[in-house]
Structure 1
Amino acid sequence: MTNPFVDRAGRVQAVQKAIFTVADLIGPVVDLSRIYVDGLENLPRDGRFLLVGNHTTSGWAEIVLTPYFVHRELGVRVRGLATRQLADMRGIGRDVMEAAGAVVGDPETGAELMRQGETVLVFPGGGRDMLKFKGEEYQLLWQGRSGFARLAIAHDYPIVPVGLVGGDDVYHSLVERGGTWERMTRGLGERLHGVTGVGIPLMRGIGPTMVPRPQRMYLRFGSPIDTTRPARTPAAQWEATVKEQTQTALEEILDDLRTRRENDPFRNLNPLAWRRALRPALAG
């Protein structure tokens, strides 16, 4: 049966061609920006794997940079499992998202993509992971979600954890989760961002403004996690194990990137420190 979110309309294919033509041309510009990226050698060469990443308050860096560098390395289009709000979008915005690879992140769509052997990207925290409050930078707010592990296990897909540091420093939250402001704004927050039980973070960028803070982005692709279930291991137990392994690996990536960033003179995009920017170690 045809899946409308996998089989795209002709106009979406035209936008797709334009997007990836531009992506193939802007490599030198991206290199000049000194985005820190390592671990590309960990990506399975057949493109058949599930990327599991962390959302950040920037709302764009991990969504754009992860597919870009995978495409640049392997030549494949990453299919991002988006929120159901994608289905409600209309016009050019939806066309662009679908052309770039986004699909509604329900289990059947994800399963169909894996049956076709495509590269898939998921952020288990969803929108909740973007709504960071004071002190929650780079925390994985997954709320026990393990559907991604169940999907990968069912289709024998290795999981590649991918962490991004920098996106949670573009804006700083002024209020704590569970505080008076957050509790008072939960109803309004649900109407605005669609996440139940979460209020509206008060954020600031440079000074008291919403101008984003200049931050270098640090991206790492971890080692693949084998999801093949061992004999005599109960399915539910193995799902929990794979979920925990993935979360632990991703947390370690984020911790290490933050440590590396501490001594990077280019972390705030100071042009005078451009030539001294931290560089990834060459793969052995």
Structure 2
Amino acid sequence: MDLLSLVDRAKRVAALESAIFSVADRIEPVVARSRIYVDGLEHLPRDGRFLLVGNHTTAGWPEIVMIPYFVRAELGVRVRGLATRQLADMTGLGREIAEAAGAVVGDPANAAELMRQGETVLVFPGGGRDMLKFKGEEYRLLWQGRSGFARLAISHDYPIVPVGLVGGDDVFHILTERDGAWERLTRGIGERLHGVRGVGIPLVRGVGPTMAPRPQRMYLRFGAPIATARPSDTTTQIWESAVKEATERALRSILDELQSLRDDDPFRRLNPLAWRRAVQPSAQTA
């Protein structure tokens, strides 16, 4: 790509960034009417210097959109999401929109540079694998032992804020099982389509037999920050494992709590007749 093309692309990304955040600043009344459940914003470090660690869902988009939106509404900062390496292979408008919204390829060098600059960073340790859930795996963290996020946070003394979203694994009903005949049969084509090695294509349905998403209320919770400064009497390897496990444990707890809260919510399926009786954060948090 020549220099002129790079300059033009940078201008387009800047224009898209301005448009995206201009819209975000104006849709608060719509967001309020949608009754998205969100709590724990008081836990966010006020300087914006922290690493958000979240769970992906089969829907994919709610966590990617809602976490940055509510952090920006609370603190006025842009969240820099660490995307899969497929972002580097994207071209055209799709890539420019992702970059305008704050996404960068999630390699260690990029993440380290963002932290050196004191940016707010978001990562989903499970990556694409966390979205590709099969029957019975709803709200499970499919991290495959990954702890790179903990290593980065420790090396830059970044507190970790676990953030869980419930609702995204319910917009589709998952029909197939992991290691079942269909999943094994589709692993080759699945890798070419979604880029995750050794994982087939989940079969899902939405409303009735269609692919229309089932109406679901979204529930979002930001947990208390997890300190990452390594004690002097603890080795780097042991501390990295401890931080990773503490984050995973906190996020699992958030997901369990939100599912329990959702179970008692008459508005969980967005029934307009139950709008006024929707569970509210002020009734659940101290």
**TM, length-normalised to structure 2:** 0.96
Deviation for aligned residue 1:102: 0.2
Give the structure 1 partner of residue 253 of structure 2: 252
Give the structure 1 partner of residue 149 of structure 2: 148
Give the residue type in structure 1 aligned to 2:22.
Answer: T
Give the structure 2 partner of residue 100 of structure 1: 101
* 1:114-153 equivalences in 2 (<5 Å): 114-153=115-154
CA distance in 2, matches of 1:146, 1:10: 36
Give the structure 1 partner of residue 230 of structure 2: 229
Give the residue type in structure 1 aligned to 2:254.
Answer: I
Structure 1: state its 5+ residue gaps: 1-7
1:171 equivalenced with 2:172 (yes/no): yes
Give the structure 2 partner of residue 27 of structure 1: 28
Deviations 1:80-125 (A, max 9, x none): 0000111111111111100000000000000000000000000000
Give the structure 2 partner of residue 73 of structure 1: 74
1:83 equivalenced with 2:88 (yes/no): no
Deviations 1:15-52 (A, max 9, x none): 11111111011001100000000000000000000000
Range with greater deviation from structure 2 (13-22 or 69-78): 13-22
Give the structure 1 partner of residue 282 of structure 2: 281
CA distance in 1, matches of 2:158, 2:14: 27
Structure 2: state its 5+ residue gaps: 1-8
Give the structure 1 partner of residue 202 of structure 2: 201
Deviation for aligned residue 1:281: 2.4
Give the residue type in structure 2 aligned to 1:245.
Answer: A
Deviations 1:115-152 (A, max 9, x none): 00000000000000000000000000000000000000
CA distance in 2, matches of 1:246, 1:13: 34
CA distance in 2, matches of 1:246, 1:178: 28
Give the structure 1 partner of residue 4 of structure 2: none
* 1:8-23 equivalences in 2 (<5 Å): 9-23=10-24
Aligned residues: 277
SS in 1 for 2:282: coil
Give the residue type in structure 2 aligned to 1:126.
Answer: G
SS in 2 for 1:169: coil
SS in 1 for 2:119: coil
CA distance in 2, matches of 1:180, 1:12: 44
SS in 2 for 1:167: coil
CA distance in 1, matches of 2:78, 2:242: 29
SS in 2 for 1:212: coil
SS in 2 for 1:79: strand
CA distance in 2, matches of 1:247, 1:25: 35
1:63 equivalenced with 2:64 (yes/no): yes
CA distance in 2, matches of 1:199, 1:190: 7
CA distance in 1, matches of 2:218, 2:73: 17
SS in 2 for 1:121: strand
CA distance in 2, matches of 1:154, 1:9: 31
CA distance in 2, matches of 1:41, 1:126: 27
SS in 1 for 2:281: coil
Give the residue type in structure 2 aligned to 1:256.
Answer: E
CA distance in 2, matches of 1:145, 1:172: 27
**TM, length-normalised to structure 1:** 0.96
Deviation for aligned residue 1:10: 2.3
CA distance in 2, matches of 1:253, 1:232: 30
Deviations 1:145-177 (A, max 9, x none): 000000000000000000000000000111110
Deviation for aligned residue 1:69: 0.2
CA distance in 2, matches of 1:112, 1:45: 20
CA distance in 2, matches of 1:17, 1:185: 41
CA distance in 1, matches of 2:91, 2:199: 26
Deviations 1:214-263 (A, max 9, x none): 00000000000000000121101000000000000000000000000001
Give the residue type in structure 1 aligned to 2:155.
Answer: A
Q: Which runs of 4+ in 1 moved over 4 A?
A: none
SS in 2 for 1:18: helix
SS in 2 for 1:29: helix
Q: Percent identity, please.
A: 76
